[in-house]
Structure 1
Amino acid sequence: MQVKEGTFLITGAASGLGAATAERLAAAGAKVVLCDLNDSVTSHAAKLGERAKACMADITSSEQMQQAFDTAVAFGGQSGLSGVIHCAGVVSVAKLVDREGNPADLEAYAKTIHINLVGTFNVMRLAAAAMAKNTPTQSGERGVIINTASIAAFDGQVGQCAYSASKAGVVGMSLPAARELSRHAIRVMAIAPGVFETPMMSEIPDEAAQALAAAVPFPKRLGKAAEFAQLAEQIIVNPMLNGEVIRLDGGIRMQ
């Protein structure tokens, strides 16, 4: 799968990991469709020029995401949609029992699962249906799906039951999806980022962010969105990367 002249849909593309991925792929000669609920995605796409389009859509909506994929397929022309990099999601923190002895909010838990896990499944199924119609490339591929998990899927901390469960579900879908979609020549991969400099990270106190950075063995800092984008590009171009989850975390293991 080549990046140049390919067409890729990126969710969560208004900022952070998604925005960096859209920028890198566009710079490498790809067409990119930036998808997000935040209306700033429009201005971000405009900065990337005519090789980029913006699409506002909710990843949990069948109708809105179908429109996003229809836009991407049309943008790709005869080549259709080459791949999807799914970065959209939410972080949630809540203990099962709070300091006053009250149980966690069940609706909040269900919302996290709905966005991070059901939303991922929604994106995957629509992406697969679109790319299965492609004419295979010279290497025999029809497309690639790259999901975003998290090291919390493996090293969940206190208060991360909802978030860890949602991302563990993304990990769990990777291999069965890759096996199923192999008959369509579509690869499925997932990236599990560690602690990264993203808008989500800005929500925690500076002292906590510094402690997380210090816990990374090497390099002893937070990850950069551009490094996630670099790995996404490498997954696209390497056909042997399939059915796997790659930790991108500098060797950190959360306590």
Structure 2
Amino acid sequence: MKDLVTLLTDDLLGTGLACVKRFVHQLHVHVIICDLPSACSSYIPCLSLILPTHLTQKDFGCIDVFVNCASITLSQQIFEHSFENFNRIIDVNTNGTYNMIQHMIPLMVNNEIIINMSYVAAFEGRRGQTVYATSKEAIVKMARPLAEELASMNICVCDIVPDVFDTSLLRELHVKVSNIPGDFSLFSARLGDSDEFAQVAQTIVENPLLNDINIRVDALLRMPSK
């Protein structure tokens, strides 16, 4: 797989950075990171970041794997935020995902893979996650029709659906979750590690039979409603 080219969208602070490390060191593929110009990473200090509107086949040749991890969140109840806040979350999480997929399709030639990141809020949104849950459920619902539409092009579409991982996104949600072993009622009794998310992404790349599937990565953990 060393000649494969992967394009990944994320802020390189959690699951995205873990995917970059695993894809480079385990799969030995070329990785292109797509994010806002203000993004930075100590792991890739000299990285040249690319805006989505500039993506062309001339720039990249072809993309074999597209991992769409970019996401923002809002932890407020409906009477606590403006409609503009709602539009911003939907625009980045839902519209952004769809927009990037549209840009990627012309760059994918044969036997390619699209991996989108949803969140368990798509199935079990908690208080204060109305907007975030809406944006993530839309991504889950995309998988089936996209897989059918892209089947003739030999493109697979899969979703990874994580829950509480020890990332910057969790801290933005202001959810108080302990990472002390034994504080969880179910195995594996801890928060997820970003590399475990990346390991699932690697499995999707390596297994050609995975298509139109939402893979929950949550160890059966169910959080209270507030």
TM-score by length of 1: 0.80
In structure 2, the partner of 1:125 is 102
**Residue identity matched to 1:191:** I
Q: Which residue pairs with 1:82 in the alignment?
A: 64
**Residue matched to 1:101:** none
Aligned sequence identity (%): 30
Is 1:24 aligned to 2:22, yes or no?
Answer: yes
Deviation track 1:108-147 (CA, whole Å, cap 9, x = no partner) reads: 011101100000001111111210xx2x4xxxx2x10000
Alpha-carbon distance in structure 1 between the residues aligned to 2:173 and 2:146: 34
One-letter code aligned to 2:4: G
Alignment correspondent of 1:177? 146
* Amino acid in the other structure paired with 1:106: F
Within 5 A, what are the aligned runs for 1:200-211?
200-203=169-172, 208-210=176-178
Q: Which amino acid aligns with 2:102?
A: R
SS in 1 for 2:188: coil
Q: 1:30 to 1:8 in 2, by over 3 A?
A: same
* Structure 2: distance between partners of 1:208 and 1:45: 30
Q: Which structure: greater helix fraction? A: 1
Q: Does 1:198 pair with 2:180?
A: no
The code of the aligned residue for 1:96 comes to I
CA contact (8 A) 2:118 2:136 kept: yes
Question: Against the structure 1 CA distance between its residues 54 and 231, is the aligned structure 2 distance closer, same or farther, given a 3 Å change threshold?
Answer: farther
- Rounded to whole Å, the distance in 1 between the matches of 2:207 and 2:35 is 27
User: Higher mean Cα deviation, 194-203 or 158-167?
Assistant: 194-203
Q: What SS does the corresponding residue of 1:10 show, helix, strand or coil?
A: strand
**2-side partners of 1:254 and 1:153: how far apart?**
13
Of 33, 49, 56 in structure 2, the residue corresponding to residue 55 of structure 1 is: 49
Residue 91 (str. 1) matches residue 73 (str. 2)? yes
What is the alpha-carbon distance in structure 1 between the residues aligned to residue 210 and residue 102 of structure 2?
20
**Which 5+ residue runs of structure 1 have no aligned equivalent?**
48-52, 75-79, 99-103
**Count of aligned residue pairs for this structure pair:** 221
What amino acid is aligned across from residue 83 of structure 2 in structure 1?
L
3-state SS in 2 of match to 1:208: coil
SS at match of 1:55: coil
C-alpha separation in 2, matches of 1:86 and 1:149: 9
Report if the CA contact (8 A) 2:73-2:172 is conserved: no
Q: How does 1:59-78 map to 2 (within 5 A)?
A: 63-64=53-54, 66=55, 71=59, 73-74=60-61
**Structure 1 pair 13–25 and aligned structure 2 pair: CA distance change class (3 A):** farther
User: Secondary structure of the residue that 1:162 maps to in structure 2?
Assistant: helix
Instruction: Please state how far the C-alpha of 1:81 moved relative to its aligned partner.
Output: 1.3
Q: Secondary structure at the match of 1:235?
A: helix
SS in 2 for 1:189: strand
Q: Take 1:46 and 1:144, find their aligned partners in 2: how far apart are those partners?
A: 28
- How far apart are the structure 2 equivalents of 1:233 and 1:70? 27
Task: Trace 1:134-149 onto structure 2 (pairs within 5 A).
Answer: 134=109, 136=110, 141=111, 143-149=112-118
Residue type of the partner of 2:122? A
Change (3 A) 1:36 1:8: same
